[in-house]
């Protein structure tokens, strides 16, 4: 399975050239013979061997024994047929390693969905017509996103005290339904057996009903669109909805289906038949003009797929327009809401099922920003009397600063309060959305309750940005605020009344929106004044000291709320469950704790134990007090696929008297049978899934989580992968491929922390691990931390020096371990990793023998209003933008560079132009460079043909310049 020889390569077994190679390598090695050369030598010594002059440059990318067709393909420019890499890589691409498992709401869990992922789509599927409008990518014939993710099958498993068993298979149930004589003719127009043979089954948008006894899913048919189906698990049946109406779902702007909390009704988006689209004018109507005369700044990052003309505006409006309807499952009726079809971009049902919050996209549109910045109208639809209440009319959001802490200068984040009938909440910036403005408070939270005819209530103000709110089933609430510039986060506990006293209106407000009404009471005091800091997190990247995250549960209103336990019969200070990564210098060991919010004392209920990596994925059962009795966990090991298990937990009363100790600054009580070096699978754990590795031959890969030091003392970590049975003392160094991605940090201590576990499963089906099958050593994810100097706060001020230092440390480590030699180490990366690769070849030209850069950006002056996490513009720090642009230092690149880019890259800042210009620069400077442009591919490559061809190109490049 693991080979070193590659198709279309000629090898001979002979003495090495005496001029230089024998000085550092044993004789009688595998070497490659080059056409038009009368000498033999090692390929990886090309750049330094004294006989390089005997090898014509035009033949450096081919071999004498390669077929004429293969040689022509490798040297040909323009369009070539798709190629495939070695068969071992093809097997990895086509194998399915991961399975998705979904559990219904409610406890205990009665059912489980096992969801199969399909194989990669074909290039033919990507070739269907696609519209790219204001950030949306649309299939015009189906009114769906053009790059949707699908699943190939769903199995329903029943969970019982004995072994779980499969009780339904959706693909089989669909076929049985189609074969039924009564339904065969009725379904012919939208779903036929002939069509089933032509296309593989594509399912998406799986949604559990709140009662956990049924779920909806959509079937995608390329000639029709999305058809809505219902699976009733109790009746063991699946059947289509909307079949009589022959209507398809509209899924461009958001999920087309939402459950009401009674589990009997669905809110659905339907394609409107009340709108039309005129043909594009064949003759230009006039020049295109953009104009700006305001003094207020309107910075824009390099957004993709923006609108270009008035016809694009008409297309956007036509394809984003939908109708809203309510489908009743009991009487199988579908009633459209009495609203005009519009561009509905968001909907949310109130907890009491009486109101629908609707977000609608309106004009004027922008030619510089995506649809997410376009004007919006927020309104509440009253289901009982079909009336509407306008919440806000928000303008075009084009004045948001590029700072990471910047937000719109208008109300945002409209959502229902989860623990009461119908109360709408939203956030308002108090600093005009600009973090540079110095104010005491930056965000405020407002709310208003049904029937929404009063003044809004100011709940509280925060000194940073509001990140999240955890509502509980009672008044107890957790409020999260953060500030990105310092990577800081605070969590407050407070008590917000369930029944808020309404503010009586003294002014006629019928012509004002809800948001406008608070201007009449702008100076009202905050209702909540008891914000108590539960945790103060100075740096959220400091994983060793994270306090954990609260668990939630679905309860009264069918909404997810904070999971609390009132052991002391005191609603003011309940107990909460916390899950965390359990990070330490020994690796991640996720845990489950219970916290007393009054004393801040915590007890550990469960923690991952070696030799496994385990993490909490949910609750399996609870008792009458809502105390967790059984936990759902995912367990994996380096040779075992992740599987789902049920763990029995001790009760709180069992662990109250156990000894307390302090861990990472937090008080933790342990239960010796759970938290120990002994695995917890002996007596209190039961498997629910039994996924096996499809190719056991790949299990002997060697993986090691390694640590080494950078020159400045920063500890770095990486995953070192070696082929099976490889021993550097016996076999010598291997050709090595490094794949990395830079990260930013504010302190060396945080950057030095370990962010992985040595017990994770080895997923081979990804770059760069494919090359383990070809005899390469792989250093995956070596940390390339870019650290701000103390008191500076801007990591990119020292980007190049730290990047080179990190790469040098990785190379030195590999050489010292005997795994690699300095002349056969390649570097590669995707996106920001491609940017890293080009910079390393430019600023450390002798460190790597070649590079592979996929979908990157190389000229930062083409992204003048920020990139990655940099929130200063080009005119503020021109020297940084130029120094960080490998395009500006292309003349220093001496190692061969392979550039790969998707033709339709949709990522901000990585336009195809970046790779095109980089290739032109390197070619003009006489460098060895190859540019691969993938038709129809975006920032991440999807089609099987493209993925295999990328691996083929990368493999040929590595074999040529690294082997």
pLDDT at 5: 30
Average pLDDT over residues 519-548: 88
Provide the domain limits for residue 916.
Answer: 701-961
- For position 487, what pLDDT does the model report? 94
Q: What is the mean pLDDT of residues 491-516?
A: 78
Is the confidence at residue 923, as pLDDT, over 70?
A: yes
Shared-domain flag, residues 907 and 933: yes
| Catalytic entry in 518, 794, 901, 939 | 939
Q: Which of 449, 634, 831, 885 is catalytic?
A: 831
User: Would you place residue 558 in the very low, low, confident or very high pLDDT band (cuts 50, 70, 90)?
Assistant: confident
d(CA 926, CA 452): 70
The model's pLDDT over 414-426, given as tens digits with 9 standing for 90+, comes to 999 999 999 999 9
The residues, ordered by sequence, that sit 6+ positions from 733 with a Cβ below 8 Å of its Cβ are 777, 815, 818, 819, 820, 821, 824
Residue 417 lies in a domain: yes
Top pLDDT among 263 and 573 is at: 263
The model's pLDDT over 60-100, given as tens digits with 9 standing for 90+, comes to: 333 333 445 666 666 778 899 999 999 999 999 998 767 89
Residue 756, phi then psi, degrees to nearest 5: -160, 180
- Least-confidence region, from 175-189, 821-835, 949-963: 175-189
pLDDT value at residue 500: 85
Q: Answer for the pair 909, 118: CB distance below 8 angstroms, yes or no.
A: no
The DSSP secondary structure of 604-642, one letter per residue, reads EEEE--TT-EEEEEEEEEE-TT--EEEEEEEEEETTEEE
Contact 781, 718 (CB under 8 A): yes
Q: Examine the residue annotation and report whether 348 is marked as an active-site residue of this protein.
A: no
pLDDT of residue 659: 47
How many angstroms separate the CA atoms of 615 and 548, rounded? Answer: 13
**What's the CA gap between 214 and 104, in Å, rounded?**
9
Reduced 3-state DSSP string for 113-144: EEEECCCCCCHHHHCCCCEEECCEEEECCCCE
Same-domain check for residues 708 and 757: yes
Q: Out of 205, 353, 871, 905, pick the active-site residue.
A: 905
pLDDT class of 171 with cuts at 50, 70, 90: very high
The answer to whether the beta carbons of residues 75 and 58 sit under 8 Å apart is: yes
681, 706: one domain:
no
Whether residue 388 lies inside any domain: the answer is no
Per-residue confidence (pLDDT) for residue 10, from 0 to 100 = 30
The predicted-structure confidence for 561-579, as pLDDT tens digits, reads as follows: 999 998 776 667 899 999 9
Residue 573, pLDDT score:
85
Q: Is 542 exposed, middle or buried (0-12, 13-18, 19+ CB in 10 A)?
A: middle
In this prediction, residue 6 carries a pLDDT of 30
Cα 803–807–812 angle (5° rounding)?
150
How many whole angstroms from its chain centre is CA 525?
40
pLDDT band at 199 (very low <50, low <70, confident <90, very high): low
Residues 680 and 729 in one domain: no
676 is catalytic: no
pLDDT of residue 246: 75
- pLDDT exceeds 60 at position 681: no
- Percent of the chain scored above 70 by pLDDT? 85
Say yes or no to pLDDT of 478 above 60: yes
366 catalytic? Reply is: no
Per-residue pLDDT averaged across 437-458, rounded?
94
pLDDT in tens, 201-257: 899 999 999 999 999 999 999 989 999 999 999 999 999 998 776 789 999 999 999
Mark whether 848 and 727 lie in a shared domain.
yes
Q: How far is CA 782 from CA 223, 412, 542, 614, 708, in A?
A: 46, 39, 18, 23, 10
Domain boundary among 53, 81, 109: 81
752 in a structural domain: yes
Per DSSP, 498 falls in state: S
Answer yes or no: do 727 and 675 share one domain.
no
pLDDT at 17 over 90: no
CA distance 397 to 400: 7
**DSSP annotation of 870:** B
Of 186-195, 225-234, 380-389, 466-475, the least confident: 186-195
Of 882, 883, 892, 827, give the one whose Cα is nearest residue 854: 827
pLDDT (tens digit, 9 = 90+) per residue, 321-352? 999 999 999 999 999 999 999 999 999 999 99
Is residue 506 very low, low, confident or very high in pLDDT (cuts 50, 70, 90)?
low
Query: Residue 158 pLDDT > 60, yes or no?
Result: yes
Is 154's pLDDT higher than 80? Answer: yes
The DSSP output letter for 365 is P
- Of 706, 666, 341, nearest in space to 535 by CA: 666
Is the Cβ–Cβ distance between 521 and 506 less than 8 Å? no
Query: Which residue's entry shows tokens 């008080």?
Result: 667
Asked if residue 113 lies in contact with residue 155, where contact means CB atoms within 8 angstroms, the answer is yes
Pick the last residue of a domain from 517, 547, 577: 547
Are 827 and 740 found together in one domain?
yes
Please tell me the total count of domains within the chain.
Answer: 4
Note whether 812 and 902 are same-domain residues.
Answer: yes
Q: What is the pLDDT of residue 31?
A: 33
pLDDT digits (tens, 9 = 90+) for 811-827: 999 999 999 999 999 99
Name which of 241, 230, 234 is nearest 208 in CA terms: 230
pLDDT at 765: 87
Alpha carbons 537 and 484: distance in angstroms, whole number: 12
Calpha distance 355→762 (Å, rounded)? 48
- The pLDDT, as a whole number, for residue 672 is 39
**pLDDT, tens only, 595-637:** 999 999 999 999 999 999 999 999 999 988 889 999 999 999 9
- Cβ neighbour number for residue 586 with a 10 Å cutoff: 12
Please give the Cα distance from 914 to 926 (Å, whole number): 19
pLDDT band at 53 (very low <50, low <70, confident <90, very high): very low
Domain membership of residue 409 (yes or no) is yes
Of 806, 714, 802, residue with least CA distance to 751: 714
Q: Are residues 735 and 627 in the same domain?
A: no
Residue 15 confidence (pLDDT) above 50: no
Is pLDDT of 665 > 90? no
CB 496 within 8 A of CB 508: no
Mean per-residue pLDDT, 694-720:
92
Greatest Cα pair distance in the chain = 98
Q: pLDDT grade, residue 664 (50/70/90)?
A: low
Query: Quick check: is 45 in a domain?
Result: yes
For the cut 90, the answer to whether the pLDDT of residue 37 exceeds it is no
In three-state form (DSSP H/G/I as H, E/B as E, the rest C), the secondary structure along 526-551 is CCCCCCEEEEEECCCCCHHHCCCEEC
* CATH number of the domain where residue 740 is located: 3.40.50.1820
Distance (Å, whole) CA 913 – CA 190: 41
Q: What per-residue confidence (pLDDT) applies to 177? A: 85
Of 519, 547, 575, the domain-final residue? 547
Residue 855 lies in a domain: yes
Identify whether residues 626 and 756 lie together within a single domain. Answer: no
Q: Are residues 813 and 905 in the same domain?
A: yes
Does a structural domain hold residue 123?
no
Would residue 569 count as lying in a domain?
Answer: yes
Mean local confidence (pLDDT), 515-540:
85
Question: In terms of domains, do 495 and 583 share one?
Answer: no
């Amino acid at each position: 399975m693991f080979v070193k020889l590659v198709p279309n390569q000629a090898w001979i077994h002979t003495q090495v050239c005496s001029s230089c190679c024998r000085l550092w390598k044993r004789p009688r090695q595998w070497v490659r013979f080059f056409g038009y050369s009368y000498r033999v030598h090692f390929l990886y010594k090309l750049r330094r061997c004294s006989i390089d002059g005997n090898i014509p440059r035009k033949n450096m990318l081919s071999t004498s024994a390669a077929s004429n067709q293969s040689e022509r393909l490798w040297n040909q420019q323009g369009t070539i047929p798709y190629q495939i890499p070695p068969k071992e890589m093809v097997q990895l691409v086509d194998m399915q390693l991961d399975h998705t498992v979904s559990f219904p709401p409610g406890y205990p869990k009665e059912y489980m969905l096992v969801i199969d992922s399909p194989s990669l789509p074909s290039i033919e599927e990507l070739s269907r017509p696609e519209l790219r409008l204001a950030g949306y990518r649309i299939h015009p014939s189906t009114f769906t996103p053009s790059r949707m993710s699908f699943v190939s099958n769903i199995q329903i498993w029943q969970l019982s005290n004995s072994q779980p068993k499969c009780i339904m298979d959706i693909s089989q149930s669909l076929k049985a339904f189609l074969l039924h004589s009564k339904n065969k003719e009725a379904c012919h127009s939208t779903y036929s057996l002939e069509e089933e043979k032509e296309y593989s089954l594509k399912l998406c948008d799986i949604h559990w009903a709140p009662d956990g006894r049924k779920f909806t899913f959509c079937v995608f048919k390329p000639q029709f669109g999305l058809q809505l189906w219902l699976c009733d698990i109790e009746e063991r049946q699946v059947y289509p909805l909307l079949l009589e109406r022959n209507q398809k779902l509209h899924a461009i702007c958001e999920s087309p289906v939402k459950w009401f909390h009674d589990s009997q009704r669905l809110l659905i988006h339907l394609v409107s038949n009340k709108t039309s689209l005129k043909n594009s004018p064949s003759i230009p109507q006039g020049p295109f003009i953009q104009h700006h005369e305001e003094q207020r700044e309107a910075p824009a990052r390099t957004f993709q797929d923006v609108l270009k003309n008035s016809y694009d505006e008409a297309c956007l409006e036509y394809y984003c327009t939908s109708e809203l309807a309510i489908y009743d499952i009991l009487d199988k009726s579908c009633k459209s809401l009495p609203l005009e079809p519009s561009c509905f971009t968001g909907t949310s049902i109130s907890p009491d099922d009486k109101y629908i919050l609707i977000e609608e996209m309106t004009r004027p549109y922008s030619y510089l920003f995506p649809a997410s910045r376009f004007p919006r109208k927020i309104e509440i639809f009253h289901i009982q009397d079909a009336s509407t209440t306008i919440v806000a009319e928000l303008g075009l959001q084009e004045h948001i600063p590029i700072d990471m802490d910047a937000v719109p200068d208008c109300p945002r984040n409209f959502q229902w309060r989860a623990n009461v009938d119908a109360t709408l909440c939203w956030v308002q910036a108090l600093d005009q959305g600009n973090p540079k403005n110095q104010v005491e408070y930056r965000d405020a939270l407002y709310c208003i309750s049904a029937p929404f005819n009063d003044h809004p209530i100011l709940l509280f103000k925060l000194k940073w940005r509001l990140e999240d709110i955890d509502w509980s089933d009672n008044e107890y609430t957790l409020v999260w605020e953060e500030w990105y510039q310092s990577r800081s986060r605070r969590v407050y506990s407070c008590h917000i009344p369930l029944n808020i006293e309404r503010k009586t209106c003294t002014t006629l407000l019928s012509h004002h929106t809800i948001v406008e009404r608070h201007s009449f009471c702008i100076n009202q005091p905050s209702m909540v004044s008891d914000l108590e800091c539960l945790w103060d997190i100075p740096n959220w990247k400091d994983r060793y000291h994270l306090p954990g995250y609260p668990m939630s549960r679905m309860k009264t209103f069918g909404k997810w709320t904070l999971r609390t336990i009132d052991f002391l019969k005191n609603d003011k200070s309940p107990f909460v469950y916390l899950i965390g990564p359990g990070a330490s210098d020994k690796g991640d060991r996720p845990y489950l704790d219970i916290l007393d919010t009054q004393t801040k004392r915590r007890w550990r209920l469960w923690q991952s134990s070696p030799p496994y990596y385990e993490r909490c994925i949910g609750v399996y059962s609870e008792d009458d007090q809502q105390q967790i009795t059984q936990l759902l966990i995912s367990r994996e090991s380096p040779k075992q696929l992740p599987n789902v298990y049920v763990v029995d937990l001790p009760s709180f009363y069992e662990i109250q008297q156990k000894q307390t100790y302090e861990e990472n600054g937090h008080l933790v009580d342990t239960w010796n049978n759970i938290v120990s070096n002994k695995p917890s699978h002996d007596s209190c754990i039961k498997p629910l899934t039994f996924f096996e590795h499809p190719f056991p031959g790949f299990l002997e890969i060697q993986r090691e989580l390694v640590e080494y030091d950078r020159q400045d003392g920063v500890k770095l970590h990486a995953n070192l992968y070696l082929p099976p049975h490889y021993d550097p003392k016996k076999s010598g160094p291997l050709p090595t491929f490094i794949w990395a991605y830079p990260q930013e940090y504010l302190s060396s201590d945080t950057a030095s922390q370990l962010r992985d576990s040595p017990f994770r499963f080895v997923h081979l089906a990804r770059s760069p691990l494919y090359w383990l099958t070809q005899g390469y050593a792989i250093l995956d994810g070596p940390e390339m931390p870019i650290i701000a100097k103390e008191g500076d706060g801007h990591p990119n001020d020292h980007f190049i020096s730290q990047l080179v230092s990190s790469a040098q440390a990785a190379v030195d480590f590999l050489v010292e371990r005997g795994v690699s030699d300095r002349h056969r180490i390649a570097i590669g990366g995707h996106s920001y990793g491609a940017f890293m690769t080009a910079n390393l070849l430019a600023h450390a030209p002798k460190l790597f023998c070649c590079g592979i850069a996929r979908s990157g950006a190389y000229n930062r002056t083409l992204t003048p209003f920020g990139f990655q996490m940099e929130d200063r513009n080009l005119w503020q720090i021109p020297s940084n933008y130029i120094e960080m642009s490998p395009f500006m230092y292309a003349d220093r690149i001496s190692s061969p560079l392979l550039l790969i880019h998707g033709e339709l890259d949709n990522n901000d800042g990585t336009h195809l132009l970046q790779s095109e210009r980089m290739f032109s620069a390197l070619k003009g400077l006489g460098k060895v460079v190859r540019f691969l442009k993938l038709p129809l591919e975006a920032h991440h490559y999807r089609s099987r043909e493209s993925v295999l061809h990328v691996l083929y190109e990368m493999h040929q490049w590595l074999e040529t310049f690294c082997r």
